[in-house]
Amino acid sequence: MDLWTSPKLHGDGMDWKYVGPMVTTPKTPIDSSAAHEFVTSGYFGSIPGDPRGGKTRVVTNNDCNRGATNMGTPIYYMGVQENGGTFTDRAGKQDFDGPGEIGMLDWGAYTPNDKPGKKGVQALSGGKGRGYSMARTLGSDPNQVAVEGRRTVVAWVSAAFTSQSLLQDITLGSDNQLRQTFVPELQMLRTGSPVAVGTGTPSVPTTLQFELLASVKKGSSPAGVDVLISADGKSRASVLVDFDKELVIVDATKAGNSDVRAGPLLGSTDAVTIHAYIDHSIIAVIFNNRTSLTVSVKPAAEDADGVATVGSTVSATVHKLVSANNNDGTRQMLITS
């Protein structure tokens, strides 16, 4: 990623000069030699919660080496950069080996690799069909680097590039690591009272569009919530935490997706929070406000709207969401509206 400088952006006094590379790295989260170019890159800083007092900077890269890595989903690199200088990690290098210095805005193109003894990122392989790509941040000010303010991120969803993801707020924790949460404005879509989710016989939200809030305590593994369960029980998607492999998982192989999707379990490993929006053919979920997965699904039928907890250490509620109807009789998907 190259850096240029000029006293003025344009007009009288403009004098652009090439400084040199701001950052050069081959790294992706699970491969140190796979990336070959920065694509649809982003750059932002002055992030809410920054323990560096607004000096942390984030570079994003939609890696398009569609081999063993991440199938075109957005990587982030975290460090610092001053005017005219290079972008570096905590060690003053471009290795990004420190905690939280490299990661994915969405892990939906990754799957468990089933290698014995591997945990977290080392238990993942990439290269699966993407559900989330070409992410861009929006800020409360046009200058998303030097001016403090809200940072939200939005992306393309699946292969339907007229669709957009649900907005997420980007903040930093006291550990200077990235946090992601669905924007609170989405709560206005809730309708009626929340419904507790039981084990076994599914509680039915009577809609394919709902919000899921769950907590999974360490115990039996994997554990979590089954969603989009059909009346005959044959079709379902599972949103799970695997404490043994330190992975978070969306298994929709019984709901039209050919691959199990997974990301690393980050943050608390004793009690994991799940926040998800299920919108007919898309599951968007964030675990521990740290690991985001966007996964396409194909519910078997209109009655595939059951929900049930998996494991004895899970508590969960669902909120029905406002559902709009199009003039042609089809339902408007909230995530892609």
Residue ending a domain, among 154, 180, 206, is 180
In a domain, 327, yes or no: no
| Statement to judge: residues 80 and 152 lie in one domain | yes
337 within some domain: no
Give the rounded distance of the alpha carbon of 23 from its chain centre: 24
Instruction: Please give the C-alpha separations between residue 86 and each of 55, 92, 111, 269, in angstroms, as whole numbers.
Output: 13, 9, 34, 35
Query: What is the total count of domains within the chain?
Result: 2
Structure tokens at 288: 């521990």
The answer to whether the CB of 299 falls within 8 A of the CB of 204 is: no
329 occurs within a structural domain? no
Tell me the average confidence (pLDDT) per consecutive run of 10 residues in the chain, 337 residues long: 90 95 87 68 94 95 62 88 90 94 94 94 87 88 92 83 86 97 94 88 82 94 94 93 97 94 95 94 96 92 90 94 61 47
Which of 180, 215, 244 finishes a domain? 180
Is residue 333 situated within a structural domain? Answer: no
Residues 89 and 193 in one domain: no
Condensed to tens digits (0 to 9), the pLDDT of residues 220-247 reads 889 999 999 998 889 999 999 999 999 9
Structure tokens at 12: 């009288």
pLDDT of residue 160: 53
CA angle 111–107–63, rounded 5-degree value: 105
CATH of residue 48's domain is 2.115.10.20
Q: Nearest-CA neighbor of 1 among 56, 82, 61, 54? A: 61
Nearest to 239 by CA among 169, 303, 302, 294: 294
Tell me if 276 sits within 8 A of 211, measured CB to CB: yes
Please report the pLDDT score of residue 276 as a whole number.
Answer: 98
Residues 24 and 150 in one domain: yes
Task: Answer whether residue 268 is part of any domain.
Answer: yes
In a domain, 213, yes or no: yes
pLDDT score, position 140: 84
Residues 173, 230 within the same domain = no
| Contact between 151 and 135 (Cβ < 8 Å) | no
Please name the residues in contact with 14: beta carbons below 8 A apart, sequence gap of 6 or more.
6, 7, 8
Asked if residue 144 and residue 19 are part of one domain, the reply reads: yes
Say if residue 167 is in the same domain as residue 194. no
Task: Say how far apart CA 105 and CA 121 lie, in whole Å.
Answer: 14
Token pair belonging to 234:
């044959």
Closest CA to 142 of 49, 46, 18, 2: 46
Predicted local distance difference test score (pLDDT) of residue 336: 44
* C-alpha closest to that of 150 among 177, 173, 168, 162: 168
Pair 255, 164 in one domain: no
d(CA 98, CA 243): 23
Rounded to whole angstroms, the Cα distance separating 190 from 82 reads 43
| Residue at 84 is within a domain | yes
Which of 180, 210, 230 is a domain's end point?
180
For residue 49, tell me if it sits in a domain. yes
Q: What are phi and psi of 312, to 5 degrees?
A: -85, -5
Residues facing 325 on adjacent strands:
331
Q: Are residues 224 and 166 in the same domain?
A: no
What pLDDT is stored for residue 34 in this prediction?
56
The reply to whether 36 and 61 lie within a common domain is yes
Structural domain boundaries, residue 252: 187-321
Residue 337: per-residue pLDDT: 38
164/272 same-domain check: no
In a shared domain, residues 164 and 199: no
Per-residue three-class SS string for 188-234: HHEEEEEEECCECCCECCCCCEEEEEEEEECCCCCEEEEEEECCCCC
Q: What is the CATH number of the domain that holds 259?
A: 2.60.120.560
On whether both 52 and 171 belong to a single domain, the answer is yes
